[in-house]
Amino acid sequence: MVGHWIAGAPTPGSGERLGDVHDPATGRVTRSVALAAPADVEAAVAAARAAFPAWRDASLAKRTAVLFRFRELLNARKGELAELITAEHGKVLSDALGEVSRGQEVVELACGISHLLKGGFSENASTRIDVYSLRQPLGVVSIISPFNFPAMVPMWFFPLAIAAGNTVVLKPSEKDPSAANFIAALWKEAGLPDGVFNVLHGDKVAVDGLLEHPDVASVSFVGSTPIARYVYETGTRHGKRVQALGGAKNHMLVLPDADLDLAADAAVNAGFGSAGERCMAVSALVAVDSIADELVAKIRERIATLRTGDGRRGTDMGPLVTGAHRDKVVGYVEAGVREGAELVVDGREVVPDAADEDAVAEGFWLGPTLFDRVGTGMSIYTDEIFGPVLSVLRVSGYDEGLELVNANRYGNGVAIFTNDGGAARRFRNEVQVGMIGVNVPVPVPVAYYSFGGWKASLFGDTHAHGVEGVHFFTRGKVVTERWLDPSHGGLNLGFPQND
Ligand code: NAD
């Protein structure tokens, strides 16, 4: 059983409700996870609140020493963490390792937080008066994360939050909960004081408890758009600082001058990596008419070489996370056929490379699926499918492609493939999307820039990690200071002016 991690130790909590955790490559239930009751929320927040004063007052040198030790432990043991992720999420091992490495980048950024927390100082802003700014932690911060990156997404937030002096309650996805506890144990080994990093497992009860709790100062949420909107509205109504990252429909626009072999490789990698369960997956390929036939043919050839199966068997693409999610994605494939799109590759026919016959039958399998001639009114285009389904939409040229991308309700990531620098430059200026790749299909920013989309892909105004992350987890103060000497005597009731 996967219990909570509160005040530096695993605990089953109230144990009133449990959820099933599956191995998606076999379909079997492998663990159960505690689903928090309100009393468990209370215990986790109380532990974080109790740990805050001492952690806040720990020097930057002491805090960053813990961060450096955590980084070393994570680096040494990331293989074990990746195995845990594959066993509960289903993504292939190399991909799980990749997500840990990208999360580790934020830990490395947080190791240098001393530099990012420096304030400004203006000597003699007024005569013999100095003005300076400083940034202080918020207190207890909460992180609510999705199933698709059980290590990386929490790591977008907690390294900076902890380095800045906050204490954390992480509520991971109940579908793949074990990574969070593994990380909590690493923190303890690194010397983080008990209660600074807590893990609360659960569902809506846990989330609502955090959103309403008076001792929780902020909420960093990542998940689907309807829940992101709910979290933003509920959290802000309760006076919290909220950043809520939502769903996506990421486009890849391919212009006629692009290298079509590179574009086809990129479309397959970005469309089917992690079985399309990435918020930065490419799900809509926008091809200019003149090259569309050739590009679709190249993508089809490449899909034929992919091996779908158990992520521990050296395959290219694993199963989907749950049976219910696989069925939902299959429902979209059926809808695409019904609505008149051309089904070029049908993933429902996949024969997975699985551990045994039972796993072939019971794993949550769906192979790479390719649709051509998709219309903007079809549900496979309008909805975020979050599976291995790539839709090709055909346009007459750059202008129609840009218009199509900008008309979409989401604005997380986008890519343009072209060898025309002028077109790429126009695109990055004109496209209404937060993260842009130029000949880069999955443009997840490095840790020292910030991650976040526009429109229905993010509620709030602060993106994750980078300088924006440091700002989110700190509050500013400005001090106006004068050390008195005899020249300062006398009464003056006027509004203070600078001289
Ligand atoms: P989800 O919205 O179902 O769940 C996210 C979190 O919210 C989980 O911790 C879950 O327990 C909780 N939750 C679920 N239903 C809830 C409810 N009714 N009330 C309160 N809390 C609830 O998302 P998911 O299926 O775990 O993850 C996939 C989604 O996350 C996709 O839409 C994907 O695009 C998105 N995502 C976005 C980004 C980004 O950076 N924008 C990154 C990763 C994933």
pLDDT above 90: residue 16: no
- Using a 10 angstrom Cβ sphere, with 0-12 exposed, 13-18 middle and 19 or more buried, the burial of residue 349 is exposed
Measured from the CA of 464, which atom of ligand 1 is nearest?
A: 40
pLDDT tens-place string over residues 435-487: 999 999 999 999 999 999 999 999 999 999 999 999 999 999 999 999 998 88
Evaluate: CB of 203 within 6 angstroms of ligand 1: yes
Q: Yes or no: say if 394 and 292 are a contact pair by the CB < 8 Å rule.
A: yes
Instruction: Please calculate the CA angle 487-488-489 and round it to the nearest 5 degrees.
Output: 95
110, 160, 279, 370: which is the annotated catalytic residue? Answer: 279
pLDDT above 90: residue 294: yes
Evaluate: CB of 360 within 6 angstroms of ligand 1: no
Question: Where does the pLDDT of residue 399 fall: very low under 50, low under 70, confident under 90, or very high at 90 and above?
Answer: very high
pLDDT tens-place string over residues 83-120: 999 999 999 999 999 999 999 999 999 999 999 999 99
For residue 150, give both structure tokens: 């059980």
- pLDDT reported for residue 212: 98
DSSP 18-59: EEEEEETTTTEEEEEEEE--HHHHHHHHHHHHHHHHHHHHS-
User: Residue range 170-180: average pLDDT?
Assistant: 98
For residue 13, give both structure tokens: 């909590």
Q: How far is the CA of 99 from the centre of ligand 1 (A)?
A: 17
Query: Which DSSP symbol is given to 91?
Result: -
Q: Is 217 strand, coil or helix?
A: strand
Instruction: Please calculate the CA angle 25-316-256 and round it to the nearest 5 degrees.
Output: 135
- pLDDT reported for residue 488: 82
Q: What percent of the chain has pLDDT over 70?
A: 100
pLDDT tens-place string over residues 421-431: 999 999 999 99
Nearest-CA residue for atom 23 of ligand 1: 223
pTM of the predicted model, to two decimals? 0.98
Q: How far is the CA of 475 from the centre of ligand 1 (A)?
A: 27
Question: Where does the pLDDT of residue 232 fall: very low under 50, low under 70, confident under 90, or very high at 90 and above?
Answer: very high
- Strands, sheet with 458-459, edge to edge from the N-terminal-most edge strand: 9-11, 4-6, 197-199, 167-171, 140-144, 216-222, 241-245, 458-459
pLDDT tens-place string over residues 251-291: 999 999 999 999 999 999 999 999 999 999 999 999 999 99
pLDDT above 90: residue 499: no
* Cβ atoms within 10 Å of 9's Cβ, excluding its own: 13
**Residue-level length of the chain:** 499
- The tally of CA atoms less than 13 A away on the side-chain side of residue 22 is 18
For residue 466, give both structure tokens: 């980078």
User: Residue range 353-365: average pLDDT?
Assistant: 97
Evaluate: CB of 153 within 6 angstroms of ligand 1: yes
Which residues are CB-neighbours of 240 under 8 A, at least 6 positions away?
211, 216, 217, 218, 219
pLDDT tens-place string over residues 46-64: 999 999 999 999 999 999 9
d(CA 385, CA 416): 21
Is 111 assigned a catalytic role? no
Query: Which DSSP symbol is given to 322?
Result: -
| Mean of pLDDT over the chain | 98
pLDDT tens-place string over residues 303-348: 999 999 999 999 999 999 999 999 999 999 999 999 999 999 999 9
In our burial notation (b when 16+ CB lie closer than 10 A, e otherwise), range 236-251 reads beeebbbbbbbbbbbb
- The tally of CA atoms less than 13 A away on the side-chain side of residue 465 is 28
Helix (H) or strand (E) holding 272: helix 260-272
- pLDDT reported for residue 489: 86
